[in-house]
Structures are given as C-alpha cells and as structure tokens.
A and B are shown apart, each in its own frame.
Chain A
Amino acid sequence: MSIAWYLAVSAIVFSLGAVGVITRRNPLVVLLCLELMLNGGNLALIAFSRMWGNGDGQILAIVVMTVAACEVCIGLGMIVALYRRKLPIDVDELRELQG
C-alpha cells in the first residue's frame, strides 16, 4: 500500500478524536479521545518515517507515547481527586479551578 493510504487513516483518526474531545462530557472519555488524536499523529509520524527510510519519526512516536502516558497519569489523578471531593465528573459542570 502506498504511504498516502496510511496518512488518510491517520487524518481520519485524528478528526474522530477531535470530535470526541469537543462533544463528549465525561472527562475520562475526553482523555480517551485525546489518546486517539495522539495516535493519529503517531501513525502519520511512522508513515513518514517509512517513507524516508529514516528512524527519526519512530523515535518521535516513542516520545509522543511517553508524553501520552504522562498525560494519562495526571488526568486520571485529577479525575480521582474530583471523585474524592464529590464534584461532578462532567466537563460542563466544572467551571472553577480552586484548590
């Protein structure tokens, strides 16, 4: 398959993730959709890496995975903190950021 097919799949996955981030209200699902967007980016990076026969894109994809793991760690920690404080788990209800 030519590289263009992979890039098309990555663009579609990225946009689907963007739909989820914009429309969903549960912060857990918003985090999942952020993962989708990062995965779309990863697929494009690896497709370009294959296109040039150069490993830099793969290294960048690994770094993106690291950043995604950190984001999941912090995001899930925030969701657990919200749940402990009996705050609503809903991004529309959360309007204030106070300690």
Chain B
Amino acid sequence: MSQVLFFIAAIGVISGAVGVVMLRNPFYAVLALVAHLLSLAVLFLLLRSEFVAAIQVVIYAGAVMVLYVFVVAYVGDQSEPLGERLRNPGSVGAQLRLGGVVLAGALAVELLIALLGTGLEAIDGKGAGYSPGPEAFGTPAYIGKLLLTRFLLAFEVASFLLLMAAVGGVVLARRRQGLDEDDQQDVLTPLNLLRPKSTGTMAEGIGKR
C-alpha cells in the first residue's frame, strides 16, 4: 500500500516540477506548483512527519500560492514567446540555455551519486523504529516541544526574519508617486511627522492622499 502511494506521489511531485519548468504561462506554472506541493505533502506523510505535511498544505499550498496568484493576476499575462528557441536555434541565448540544461543534468547525476552512493547502510532501510502515540515522532506535540526547547533560538530568529520580510515587502511594493500637490498641506498630526510621505497607507492605496 505504502509503495503504491509512494509511486503515485513521486510521479505527482516530479510531473508538477516538470510543469513548473516547462509551462509558458506563469499562471499554469503556479497551478503546477500547487499540485507538486500537495504530492510532496503525501510524501511527507509517508515519512511520518504529519505536522510538516499539514503546514506544507496549509501555508505553502494555501497562503504562499495565493500570494503568487495575486501577483500573476496583477502583473498580467507575461507569457514567454512560444518557440523562440525553435525559430533561431543558433542564437547565443539558445546555446546558453542548452548549456544550462546540460549543467543541471550534470548536477542531477552528481547529486544522485552523492546521495545514493554514500556508505550509509541505513539509507537502504525503512528508517528508525516508530511507535504510535500522542507524542510520537512527527506529531505536533513532538515538534512543539523541540521548537520551544532545543530550537528556541532558531524559532525566534525565524519569526524575526518573517517580521523583517513583511516590512520589506511593504516598503518594496509601496506606491511611490501617488501624491497630489494640493494634498501636501493638510492637518499636521504627530503621525505625519513620524511617517515619510507615500509609505503605502490604505488611504494612499485608494488615492485619497
């Protein structure tokens, strides 16, 4: 049973990845990545990491992919011209691209040799022993205990990194030239002194300010 599931999920993972790389329309590439992530969550479940599989589905395939879909819809259909490589196969860009594919193929061979050719005997086994229970390997209780004891520093640093990324995203994507001249002199509040102009408030987003 688990072998059948493994092969179905592995085929889903690899075909999703191929779809991301090959599809011309970015929207379809995002959908292929969603399929890839869902199949990857099945592989995580087969490796008995239930919590990671759950957050993979909820956060990655849910939240992050919604962000991608929004940006693809906002930026618009920027499909790469189809068959450009086929029309002029001798151009420098096409040769560079072929070189990239060859390089990545060499990377794949090297990775497979490095991962499968190690001297680790455990690599051919099914993994360490597993006994089901409320705090077994991979359950939320197990992960939570690890995160709040041994990996507390990593947990805090990761949350700080998320905060920095949120601030950075707002600063990068803010509206820069949204100010009308007659709006410049309005009531001076302490907030106006603290805040530089056009930092992307909601009022600026709808063009009020």
Contact = CB atoms under 8 A, between A and B. Distances in A.
Interface stretch (B142-150, B181-189, B201-209): B142-150
Q: Is the interface of A mostly helix, strand, loop or mixed?
A: helix
A3 B121 CA distance: 10
A91 B171 CA distance: 22
A50 B123 contact: no
Contact of A59 (B37, B143, B172): B143
B78 A28 contact: yes
Interface in B154-174: 154, 158, 161-162, 164-166, 168-173
Interface in A8-55: 8-20, 22-26, 28-29, 31-33, 35-36, 39, 42-44, 46-47, 49-55
Contacts of B46: 1
B165 A70 contact: yes
B134 interface: no
Q: Is the interface of B mostly helix, strand, loop or mixed?
A: helix
Interface residues of A, number: 71
B162 to A, nearest CB: 6
Contacts of A50: 47-49, 127-128, 137
A25 B80 contact: yes
Contacts of B68: 28, 31-32, 72, 76
Given A3-B125, A13-B14, A33-B20, A73 B166 contact: yes
Contacts of B67: 72-73, 76
B168 A77 contact: yes
Contact of A89 (B75, B93, B137, B161): B75
Nearest to B166: A73
A18 B176 CA distance: 34
A77 B169 contact: yes
B61 to A, nearest CB: 11
Contact of B158 (A2, A5, A32, A66): A66
B14 A58 contact: no
Interface of B: 2-3, 6, 10, 13-14, 17-18, 20-21, 26, 29-30, 33, 36-37, 40, 43-44, 46-49, 51-52, 55-56, 59-60, 63-64, 67-68, 71-72, 74-75, 78, 80, 93, 97, 100-101, 103-105, 107-108, 111-112, 115-116, 120, 122-130, 137-138, 142-143, 146-147, 150-151, 154, 158, 161-162, 164-166, 168-173, 175-176
Task: List 9 A-B pairs, minimum CB-CB distance, nearest first.
Answer: A53-B128, A22-B100, A77-B172, A15-B108, A70-B165, A11-B111, A20-B21, A77-B169, A50-B127
